[in-house]
Structure 1
């Protein structure tokens, strides 16, 4: 079976006439008839029956048409994807990231990149630490921001691009809200609002509290940075967040206070599959990100 036969078959099926199909295909009518006949012989079925001056699909022809159209559509899409793969100014970049980066960092770097590459499309996927690793390994995304950088992952490669300091986030009216800096141990009696299990910020906050000499009393758990920040602003507890996660405007805003002891940071890595070549447009974006963070590194 040849691809040309499928093209001819789909065209005849859409026009219900060999002559009109041949005219649109710019080939001889006899060439179209011959290809349809060979296709029917190979399949061992009749795909068309004569109805007046037109051709009508048989039931099995209607079934085959759906598959043939799907094959042609997939092939055409693959050709487009190949061209986009080799073109740094077109195509689609699929990027994954944790929720805490979605408020400020991701919109900022994407907007700056698209000033130079306005025709590039982006597909975003937010997720927790395990799902981001899985998405990269399964090829669901080209690149992913992740914290911490995974160790001993042979199928992944990447590097730390950003180290962020975490701040105490307190409601207005808290006794420490006016301080320039505090020690984390000063919050040992406060209820904490934390991300639930599976989010990378949770163990960072938990371990910092243990280092400060106490186990945090968890009052509420959430999945979104906005939810965590909003609960703190509403007086439901305190938390620790990186600066970019507190970057927000609106009526419900908590207070950000520096923690002088212990020093609390998180590392953000940028990863991709080590055994697969990135599409050219994703490769260009990857280098752009490395340069962007290198220029801003203290």
Structure 2
């Protein structure tokens, strides 16, 4: 089921028919395995209905399309916050310890969050590929790449992390979930949709800062230190999107930072025990 869901997300940019078929298989398997129930199926029908309405309306009524887009955005936000019933996301890792200095870590496979790119693509045709809002040279990209470990080292300097190289036995499970059900979902929402929409009305830099701040606040459950670092990481991901116009570029920066964090530092944070 999870491999079908990941494959559907991977093919979403390339071939929507194949992606839709793989998603249908994943949904069917999810229902059989009681990961989703009729509430989730009803939500999917609503999303499909919105898609068909937007096609039928076309360019006849911008207000109707904007209203449907707002509904899709609210659905995506609710999925990100796990507010929609009908999803019984399985716990894959339960209080595992990445290293001797790391805090316990629990991870779920989130079917609801993984649906975000599908929902937003209905309203934003340029979700995956858009015209870059600004350009940057080789030096800018080099500095952006260096900023990934630099941000984690800042976490060490502030006492939230420690350097602790390790390769957990559950890394493959982590990578699958983090790439498709976390990084892609969050980047689709914040960079592909919110930052792109804001860039249509305000300066790209201001859109970047606002989106990064919102991304930080979304991590409030982890405490204010996490909000701070999530906001800074949001600037990195936002620059990657702003300079490339490619959602997957931002996703790989997001995924890369999370992997470096797990493999070379205490994860999710330093445990003072």
Calculate the TM-score normalised by the size of structure 2: 0.23
More helix by percentage:
2
Report the structure, 1 or 2, having the larger strand content.
Answer: 1
